[in-house]
Chains A and B, each alone.
Chain A
Amino acid sequence: MPVFDLATTPLREFHRALHSVREGENEAFEVLNPRGAHSVAVGAMAPVHVEVRGSVGYYCAGMNEAAEITVHGSAGPGVAENMMSGRVTVKGNASQYAGATGRGGLLVIEGDAASRCGISMKGIEIVVKGSIGHMSAFMAQKGAMAVLGDAGEALGDSLYEARLYVRGSVKSLGADCIEKEMRAEHVAQLSDLLARAGVEADPASFRRYGSARKLYHFNVDHAGDY
């Protein structure tokens, strides 16, 4: 397994190696001493494994395609932003904007996630074992988020079609976000999501939140809701 020690090796060298791997080439990388570096393991394009030993700064695993990336520490803002596919696991906590605009793949945060987790998500799946901060899933379009802990203020503000599952308390719901019935299809979806995330929890203990769809077409009578 190629090892890149960022204490002695420029990030660019690691990315050259990461980006040169093509689909079908089974590679694994280990990154040592990230020491809060930004943009670690961004732009992967193949199903490689990357183990990052330590905490990272902004945008770790940004725009990931196909790779499985594990951060053995905490992640700064925008971890797995705009992820296309693959899997990113953060063993510690994640700062704000985790999984922002993600289009696919699975993001698992074993600790807590700060504000705006899943902002503008467009198909990604996010599982947070701890709690999430305020304004999470703001303008979330597609995909699913499961939170085993609590959600902060204004969950799902201006939500589109993303599905939100929260086991703990929700401090408040954002504009156009409502609690919805947990039907069999949702239990099935959540069961599958939790299983893939390696989380043992009873899907029936979660509540589902989604869009009321009142803001889908501008209506002056709803102007106060914006």
Chain B
Amino acid sequence: MSYDNPPTFPRKSATFDDYTLSEIRRAAATGIYDIRGGGAKRKVPHFDDLLFLGASISRYPLEGYREACNTAVTLGDRFASKPIHLKIPITIAGMSFGSLSGQAKEALGRGATIAGTSTTTGDGGMTEEERGHSELLVYQYLPSRYGMNPRDLRRADAIEVVVGQGAKPGGGGMLLGQKISERVAGMRDLPEGIDQRSACRHPDWTGPDDLEIKIGELREITGWEKPIYVKVGGSRPYYDVALAVKSGADVVVLDGMQGGTAATQEVFIEHVGLPTLACIRPAVQALQDLGMHRKVQLIMSGGIRNGADVAKAMALGADAVSIGTAALVALGDNDPRWEAEYRALGTTAGAYDDWHAGQDPAGITTQDPELAARLDPVAAGRRLANYLAVMTLEAQTIARACGKSDLRNLEPEDLCALTMEAAAMARVPLAGTSWIPGGGGF
């Protein structure tokens, strides 16, 4: 090194960053795309880009430890004779037995029941573990129809017709052979140990006119008792929500791209769909335009992590939220206590996403009996219940500070945005201004 010939630092490309280079090498070595679990990991505008304004002279707050703030919500009272009554507006999203162990499904049911909320089946059908331990169980009706039967349909508390999910709107799924145990294979009517494809479209209907007829069939079979949800991935939320309402849904579940999946191509998860924040206002607008806001309930999911996220989603017009990834973390997923084993798998706690591989050290996304036995469903259920209680208390704290005696009284006027992108998506003013960027339709 000399003054006359000074070296520059080695410079890595922002376009070809370390992750991109590693993926090119991996693709070149294997000839197959990367499959993983979870939702979008890229940074997108999210609830962190919003702030509550709170109360001061122009708004009157409620006393935090004395004045009530309701968290209960009723779902599905549009047509169903037996709607769902939740104590808290945070539900557990659909996750399959097959993707998750029986113990994990039991833990989800236990935790949800303690908290007074619902849990949801997934691809693969209903297990005794989750029915037995879930006071309120939503039965997913999926394109694959794995494990689907009218007996379970009748013993569900609600039915969720799954059109898509946020991690892969327009995509199906693949449960790889290593997770297809004898029990999983039996429930799915397929040979043990082979890859199992989950279709991207329902086998017996296409489009909203057919969906309306399908919902009619489900209602006739179950005596018009059960609320019928329609779940869509964040794609064209204004039109999808409007069409779900037109089709006769009691509840619409809308899942943004941060929502998790058991196993999908990385390229799909990261490059298809809308961020959760961008989904809510168009969905609420659709409901309002149809005069159905609060009559057809909206459940938002995809990256809900804490009570602030719950409060923000509800302030933007959601009636409830749903959690999947966060619930798994509460059970013990990606816990640093298993760091040595995560390292052995070539990853680290907090980054483990090979949920399809069946080697989960935490015993959650596996069918390996020894690994699954690591999860105590009673203790894990208690952790989930604790987490749900904390989220609810946090949301109530914020709502009271905004002067609201019910979480659903929160409104966009209570919020401002830290970035122009978030302001445009959430349709709330940029902080310190009265300016809402965007407009002019969806």
Task: Report A's interface with B, CB cutoff 8 A.
Answer: 11-12, 15-16, 19, 38-39, 42-43, 45, 57-59, 62-63, 65, 77-78, 81-82, 84, 97, 100-101, 103, 116, 119-120, 122-123, 138-139, 141-142, 158, 160-161, 215-218, 220
Q: How far apart sit A62 and B203, CA to CA, in the bound complex (Å)?
A: 13
A82 adjacent to B148 (CB under 8 Å): yes
Q: List CB contacts (< 8 Å) of B172-213 with chain A.
A: 174, 176-177, 188-191, 194-195, 197, 199, 203-205, 210, 213
Please tell me if the beta carbons of A11 and B220 are within 8 angstroms of each other in the complex: yes
**B83 within 8 Å of A (CB atoms):** no
Task: Considering the complex, give the chain B residue whose CB is closest to the CB of A77.
Answer: B204
CB pairs A–B below 8 angstroms (24 shown): A39-B217, A42-B217, A43-B220, A45-B150, A62-B221, A63-B149, A78-B204, A82-B145, A82-B150, A84-B149, A101-B148, A116-B203, A120-B145, A120-B203, A122-B145, A122-B189, A139-B203, A160-B194, A161-B190, A215-B195, A216-B177, A218-B174, A220-B30, A220-B31
- Report how far A58 CA is from B221 CA in the complex, Å: 14
Q: Are the C-beta atoms of A58 and B149 separated by less than 8 Å?
A: no
Decide yes or no whether B359 CB sits under 8 A from chain A: no
Known: A123-B189, A218-B174. A100 touches B216 (CB 8 A): no
In the assembled complex, the CB of B30 is this many whole angstroms from the nearest CB of chain A, namely 8
**CB-based contact A19/B203 at 8 Å:** no
Q: With an 8 A cutoff between CB atoms, is B397 at the interface?
A: no
User: Main SS of the interface on chain B?
Assistant: loop
Given A43-B221, A101-B204, verify A218-B176 contact (CB < 8 Å).
yes
Residue pair A142, B189 in contact (C-beta under 8 Å): yes
CA distance A120 to B195 in the complex (A): 15
- Asked if B144 is at the interface of the complex by the 8 Å CB criterion, the answer is yes
What is the CA–CA distance of A218 and B265 in the complex, to the nearest angstrom?
Answer: 13
Per-residue A-contact encoding for B12-32, CB less than 8 Å = 1, 0 else: 000000000000000000111
Instruction: Assess A101 versus B191: contact at CB under 8 Å? Given A57-B213, A63-B153, A217-B177.
Output: no
Does A101 lie within 8 Å of B145, measured CB to CB? yes
Complexed CA–CA distance, A163 and B220 (Å): 32
Q: Does A59 lie within 8 Å of B213, measured CB to CB?
A: yes
Question: Interface code B144-162, partner A: CB below 8 Å = 1, 0 otherwise?
Answer: 1100111001000000000
B64 at the interface (CB under 8 A from A): no
A141 with B32: in contact, given A38-B216, A39-B216, A119-B203 (CB under 8 Å)? no
For A97, list chain B residues within 8 Å (CB): 203-204
Flag if A12 contacts B224 (CB, 8 Å): yes
State whether B217 touches A62 (Cβ < 8 A): yes
Report chain A residues within 8 Å CB of B204. 59, 77-78, 81, 97, 100-101, 119
Q: Are B177 and A63 in contact (CB under 8 A)?
A: no
Mark each residue of chain B from 28 to 43: 1 if its CB lies under 8 Å from any CB of chain A, else 0: 0011100000000000
A82-B145, A119-B203, A161-B191 given; A218·B32 CB < 8 A:
yes
Contact of A216 among B188, B194, B213, B221 (CB under 8 A): B194
Instruction: Give the CA-CA distance A81 to B190 in the complex, in Å.
Output: 19
Q: Which 8 A-B pairs have the closest CB atoms?
A: A43-B221, A122-B189, A78-B204, A97-B204, A63-B150, A39-B217, A216-B194, A220-B31
**Most B Cβ at <10 Å: residue of A59, A100, A158:** A59
